[in-house]
Amino acid sequence: MSDNEMEEDVIETIDEKRLESKRIFINYVDTYNGRNLSKYLSKCVVGASLEGGEEEAGNEEENGTGETKKENTYNIYGTVKISEDYKQPDYIKEIISNHNKDELLEQLMECDVIIYDIIHEPDQVDEACWAISTLNSQIDKIDKPKIFILLSTVMTWAKTKPADPEDPDLPFTEEDFRRRKCHPTYKEHLAAEKTVIKFGKASKKKLTTYVVCAGLLYGQEESIFHYLFKAAWHNNDLCLYGNGKNTLPTMHINDLAAVIQNIADQKPKARYIVAVDDSKPTLKQITKAVSKNLGSGKVKPVAKEDALLNKEISQSDFDMISIDLKMDAAFIKENMQIRWVAESGFVENIPKIIKEYKTTRNLIPFKVCILGPPGVGKSTIAHQLAQHYKVHHIHIKDVINQAIENLNKFAKRTENETEKVNEDGDAEVEQEEEEEEEEEEQPDLSELDAINENMESNNGRLDDQYVIKFFKERLMSKPCQNQGFILDGFPKTREQAQALFEPDEQEEETGEENGGDEEATKFNKLISPEIIIKLDSSDDFLCKRIMNLPEKLVQDTHNTEEGLTRRLSEYRELNNEDNSVINVFEEDFEFDVIKIGPEMVEEDKSFLHKNLVDLIRSNHMKEPRNYGLSAAEKAELKRIEIEQRLIKERQEREERERLEADEAIERVKKQTEWNEKLEQIKKEEVEYLETQSIPLRNYLMTHVMPTLTKGLIECCKIKPDDPIDYLAEYLFKNNPQVD
């Protein structure tokens, strides 16, 4: 057979295996594992790993390209852990509800590949066992072959004894999986692994099962090592729990996705696959790598008992970072074609991993420069923006003072350490036992005397060479590189701008490697500002503004009448149309400069320039890029919000009930007072009537009653037929007023 015929046969075989789009089910696509596996696999063409096509998917993932989804790719279906507020992304074809097992089974029967992740989801162990057992019971109804993949954890190996007691460093491989002994809290995981392998033996043609034992996963937004990245990004000292000498089997999440892609395409013979990279780092090495490359470079030892005081670490995560296990992925290296993201491991690829971490979490630092004449409000605006966006406010006076203070501190510390050499023998022994570490870059103390002399000869001012050096060191520091910075009024001259932002040697070499691209070597990308704001105003307005400032803000500054006039004159001389700092940014570096002219500056009458700050925030800087809240922190804030709302509602209800009770008491009190007043009025009325009736009674008793009484007595004695007429006759006859 000719070479061409053989090549055609190979192509035909590949084309036969390259099928139409397939359905992949992944549980909990809203978690770290599910989300990243879904993103990766959704870009993979079916059968591509058979011809090395996974490289293309890996590139897309790394570069973050938003290209149109290719044909014949894997379509992702899955469940979610938290359905509330979940927005289905483009790479997910459909979200399936797992509340109804019958409906879930119906969907599983339609999928070609079923992936159940139980690494960090112990609540999914039972569902994974249910899924494989039910699929096995429905084997007669399966029309097309299915692949079931269980993603398990190295914790099922945690207590495995070495195969060779004389060589405890000999790593475990897939061949040792029947000897594995699990961590006490992972017995259900081990049982699930055995269940999946058992059902895979029953009907290999229709239902093929695999267990992928994944190392501690890292990459993208980070998961188990997130507590290290978050602390380092905030420039905190990293905690090393215990001595940190335990070996951790690790794996990049994208490399795990590539392993799954190979399984889906190739259906390998091995049923138990170990997925770890080539490195065997210790916890100490991982911690130091993160601290050195992302944080302050400092690591502090912490007792294991205090680990759970860190809210960022769960019990399960702590158990994982505490294991001591050496493993090799022999089958993967020998039988799979993977374009590794981090084959050499976590420590060797830490720069790439940190870049990936910052990009995924949108931790791109703000780099801003605010320029303008003295008194225009640069510091006022910079301070407010720095507070809002949680970035570092870089002022020339602070930079110089801090740099000199650090030099003095280091000089004093060096002197003290020299005096105490060999005083503590135990300390020397401990130092010898420590692993050799790369020495940190120390400041050059020989410059301290030169700096002091320079300041003395220049009336307290420093030459540009020292100022530029201090600024570069500050802008290249981890805090500024992580959170970002706002340059306040610096650089002041064209020469300072060119010296400060000139490309370093490393960037120039990179430019040469990329074909001598001049654009890449015009300026130092690490410290050059991305947003440049130039404020301007008339000298008269600036003088009036400074005169109206509170005395406490003007005191001990150059903003006196004489000082401001001098500084304005120097600024106008150094920043004319032909030669200015802005010319460097616009002409040399080709940056866009945001110019806010006198009309807008002088229109904002507020003392704090609120209108200008709002303008910059809304139109130019927009949303903050600082560290967002974790899911746990969001849940805690929501819980606190609900509690506060319930407390407020209870307080309002209690206040309403109290007011109603007070009103009822007040009503009763007023009713009682009314009744008492009414009784008093009646009593007074009776007394008044009685008083008014006394003269009348006296009159009747004197002039009427005696005669009337006698008449009535006589009437009663006689008993006439008409008593009234008789009485009238009697009164008429016996009227004492008639003679």
**What mean pLDDT do residues 631-641 have?**
72
Task: Note the pLDDT of residue 520.
Answer: 52
Which amino acid is located at 564 in the chain?
A: L
Q: What sign for the dihedral angle of Cα 103, 108, 111, 114?
A: positive
Report the DSSP beta bridge partners of residue 485. Answer: 367, 392
> Regarding predicted confidence, which is higher, 63 or 234?
234
> 44, 263 in Cβ contact below 8 A?
no
**Residue 70 pLDDT more than 70?**
no
Tens of pLDDT, residue by residue over 320-329, are 999 999 999 9
Query: How far is the C-alpha of 502 from the C-alpha of 527, rounded, in Å?
Result: 10
Tens of pLDDT, residue by residue over 704-716, are 888 888 888 988 9
Write the CATH number of the domain with boundaries 695-739.
Answer: 1.20.890.10
**What mean pLDDT do residues 17-43 have?**
85
> 602, 541 in Cβ contact below 8 A?
yes
**Residue 69 pLDDT more than 60?**
no
Of 117, 256, 118, 133, nearest in space to 187 by CA: 118
Tens of pLDDT, residue by residue over 271-284, are 999 999 998 999 99
Task: Note the pLDDT of residue 443.
Answer: 59
Task: Note the pLDDT of residue 506.
Answer: 56
Could you please state the CATH topology (level 3) that the domain comprising 366-416+448-621 is classified under: Rossmann fold (3.40.50)
Task: Note the pLDDT of residue 734.
Answer: 84
Confidence of residue 10 (pLDDT cuts 50, 70, 90): very low
Residues 6 or more apart whose Cβ sits within 8 Å of residue 618: none
**Residue 196 pLDDT more than 80?**
yes
**Residue 538 pLDDT more than 50?**
yes
Query: How far is the C-alpha of 359 from the C-alpha of 62, rounded, in Å?
Result: 10
Are 3-220+250-280+325-344 and 695-739 the same fold in CATH?
Answer: no
Least confidently predicted of 190-194, 436-440, 554-558, 693-697: 436-440
**What mean pLDDT do residues 113-129 have?**
91
Residues 6 or more apart whose Cβ sits within 8 Å of residue 670: none
- The number of angstroms, rounded, from the C-alpha of 548 to the middle of its chain's C-alpha atoms is 41
Confidence of residue 114 (pLDDT cuts 50, 70, 90): very high
Task: Note the pLDDT of residue 346.
Answer: 93
Tens of pLDDT, residue by residue over 181-194, are 999 999 999 999 99
**Residue 471 pLDDT more than 50?**
yes
Query: How far is the C-alpha of 618 from the C-alpha of 380, rounded, in Å?
Result: 17
Query: So where are the chain's domains?
Result: 3-220+250-280+325-344, 366-416+448-621, 695-739
Q: Please state, for a pLDDT cut of 90, what percent of the chain lies above it.
A: 32
Query: How far is the C-alpha of 129 from the C-alpha of 138, rounded, in Å?
Result: 14
> 115, 151 in Cβ contact below 8 A?
yes
Query: How far is the C-alpha of 152 from the C-alpha of 300, rounded, in Å?
Result: 32
Task: Note the pLDDT of residue 533.
Answer: 92
Tens of pLDDT, residue by residue over 573-621, are 888 777 888 888 888 888 889 998 888 888 877 778 888 998 998 888 8
- Most confident region among 23-27, 315-319, 625-629 by mean pLDDT: 23-27
**Residue 152 pLDDT more than 90?**
yes
Mean pLDDT of the chain: 82
Tokens of 551: 């005395």
Task: Note the pLDDT of residue 690.
Answer: 85
Element (DSSP H or E) covering residue 115: strand 113-117
Three-state secondary-structure class, residue 28:
coil
Of 129, 105, 100, 103, nearest in space to 116 by CA: 129
Tens of pLDDT, residue by residue over 34-63, are 999 999 999 988 888 777 544 444 444 444
Task: Note the pLDDT of residue 16.
Answer: 46
Q: According to the CATH classification, is domain 3-220+250-280+325-344 in 3.40.50.720?
A: yes
